[in-house]
Amino acid sequence: MSGPLLEVRDLVVEYATAGGRFRAVDGVGFSVGRAGSLAIVGESGCGKSTIARALVRLLTPTSGEVLLDGQDLARMPERRLRPIRSRIQMVFQDPYGSLDPRMPAVDTVGEPLKLRGVRSRAEREREAARLLDRVGLPASTIRRRPAEFSGGQRQRIGIARALAGRPEVLVCDEATSALDVSVQAQVLALLNELRAEGGLTYVFISHNLGVVSEVSDEVLVMRAGRTVEHGPTGTVLAAPREPYTRALRAAALDPTTMRGRKPRDVLAAAKGATS
Ligand SMILES: Nc1ncnc2c1ncn2[C@@H]1O[C@H](COP(=O)(O)OP(=O)(O)O)[C@@H](O)[C@H]1O
Ligand SMILES: [Mg+2]
């Protein structure tokens, strides 16, 4: 089908709270073409994770559409959704919380292969080992449990697990935010490589405009559930129209977050390095 691979129209998500309904996302829309990459940026609490959860249907939007290849997932019943779920996968922020502490890496990555119908354990292990190798984890480590890996390695396991479902869209929600700057840059470089190789499509979510600008064609800036700016990354970064976006840009280049280095330079320095 032609047209964007992922299109979100007028998305609204409300949470039921003690004080009534709280509108966390209020009429957000965007589209991403195949092998494209969109960044969603904004400060903590603006609704980014809520959008991510709506995209992968961890929650059901109040209204609006989430079109994957033209099919609306927004209120699709679970039975019809199940075979589609693998096509849009999420990489989470917390590489500790999102991995089962008792499960060896090779099994964590093998789980989604079961859902894909790979019945033979040996075959699952082979494929899981291949995916772990692809994200830079040596074969000698694949039977280790999460606690035996560094934060950066754990995040690589999370990425390998997401890839095991053979997704078309990867939603990365603060996927590198828990990592220190150089490890963060290595993981971003890996995501960029995967996109170039496999034609993966990304929705990349971060509170740090500097980080996502390196991996996205387009940026959508959010504030309090709404879009305040949306355009090509270069344009938004070079000439932010909104004072809010300028503030985010300044924060991204703040010495405490980037130590004054341009994200581009951090990425370049990390290429070829291992974590
Ligand atoms: N389950 C929930 N119930 C009620 N309010 C929520 C829930 N989850 C998130 N929120 C609120 O919705 C807003 C957006 O949250 P979130 O999407 O997590 O923002 P972000 O990821 O940008 O930090 C915040 O004000 C948050 O407190
Ligand atoms: Mg969040």
Do 150 and 173 lie in one domain? The reply is no
Written as one letter, the residue type at 246 is R
Do 144 and 183 lie in one domain? The reply is no
Atom of ligand 1 nearest to the CA of 17: 4
Do 70 and 110 lie in one domain? The reply is no
Q: Show the domain range for 144.
A: 95-166
**One pLDDT digit (tens) per residue for the chain, 275 residues:** 568 999 999 999 999 999 999 999 999 999 999 999 999 999 899 999 999 999 999 999 999 999 999 999 999 999 999 989 989 999 987 766 778 999 999 999 999 898 888 999 999 999 999 999 988 898 899 999 999 999 889 989 999 999 998 899 999 999 888 788 778 888 888 888 888 887 899 999 998 888 877 789 999 999 999 999 999 998 888 888 888 888 888 877 654 544 444 545 544 544 444 44
Q: Is 21 in the pocket of ligand 1 (CB under 6 A)?
A: no
Q: Is residue 37 part of a domain?
A: yes
Atom of ligand 1 nearest to the CA of 42: 22
Q: Is residue 1 part of a domain?
A: no
Atom of ligand 1 nearest to the CA of 173: 21
pLDDT value, residue 265: 52
What's 47's DSSP letter? S
Q: Is residue 237 part of a domain?
A: yes
Q: Is 230 left (phi over 0), alpha (psi -120 to 50) or beta?
A: beta
CATH code at position 251: 3.40.50.300
| CB-CB contact of 96 with 146 (8 Å) | yes
Q: Is 58 in the pocket of ligand 1 (CB under 6 A)?
A: no
Ligand nearest 41 Cα, by number?
1
Ligand nearest 92 Cα, by number?
2
Do 131 and 181 lie in one domain? The reply is no
Q: Is residue 40 part of a domain?
A: yes
Q: Is 17 in the pocket of ligand 1 (CB under 6 A)?
A: yes
Do 174 and 258 lie in one domain? The reply is yes
Q: Is 256 in the pocket of ligand 1 (CB under 6 A)?
A: no
Do 21 and 44 lie in one domain? The reply is yes
Do 252 and 160 lie in one domain? The reply is no
Q: Is residue 111 part of a domain?
A: yes
Last residue of a domain, one of 122, 143, 166: 166
Cα–Cα dist 44/216, whole Å = 20
Cα–Cα dist 90/143, whole Å = 23
Site to probe by mutation for ligand 1, drawn from 17, 50, 53 as the one with most ligand atoms within 8 Å of Cβ, is 50
Do 144 and 181 lie in one domain? The reply is no
**Which amino acid residue places its CA nearest to atom 6 of ligand 1?**
15
Q: Is 233 in the pocket of ligand 1 (CB under 6 A)?
A: no
Instruction: Compute CA distances 53 → 49, 66, 114, 147, 214, whole Å.
Output: 6, 11, 23, 26, 23
- Residues with Cβ within 8 Å of 37's Cβ and at least 6 positions away in sequence, in order, are 195, 201, 202, 203, 204, 215, 216, 217, 218
Q: Is residue 275 part of a domain?
A: no
Do 154 and 178 lie in one domain? The reply is no
- Phi first, then psi: what are they for 11, rounded to 5°? -75, 130
Do 162 and 209 lie in one domain? The reply is no
Last residue of a domain, one of 127, 146, 166: 166
Instruction: Compute CA distances 252 → 42, 223, 244, 257, whole Å.
Output: 11, 16, 12, 7
> DSSP letters along 100-160, please?
-TTS-HHHHHHHHHHHTT---HHHHHHHHHHHHHHTT--GGGTT--GGGS-HHHHHHHHHH
Cα–Cα dist 184/188, whole Å = 6
Q: Is 232 in the pocket of ligand 1 (CB under 6 A)?
A: no
Do 152 and 127 lie in one domain? The reply is yes
**Of 235, 237, 107, 91, the residue nearest 169 (C-alpha):** 91
Tell me how far apart the terminal alpha carbons of the chain are, to the nearest angstrom.
39
Do 72 and 103 lie in one domain? The reply is no
| CB-CB contact of 53 with 59 (8 Å) | yes
2 alpha carbon to ligand 1 midpoint, in Å? Answer: 34
Last residue of a domain, one of 125, 146, 166: 166
CA dihedral 120, 124, 127, 128 (to 10 degrees): -170
48 alpha carbon to ligand 2 midpoint, in Å? Answer: 5
Q: Is residue 104 part of a domain?
A: yes
**Of 251, 167, 203, the residue nearest 48 (C-alpha):** 203
Buried b (16+ CB within 10 A) or exposed e, 36-65: bbbbbbbeeebbbbbbbbbbbbeeebbebb
Number of domains in the chain: 2
Q: Is 18 in the pocket of ligand 1 (CB under 6 A)?
A: no
| CB-CB contact of 274 with 186 (8 Å) | yes
Q: Is residue 66 part of a domain?
A: yes
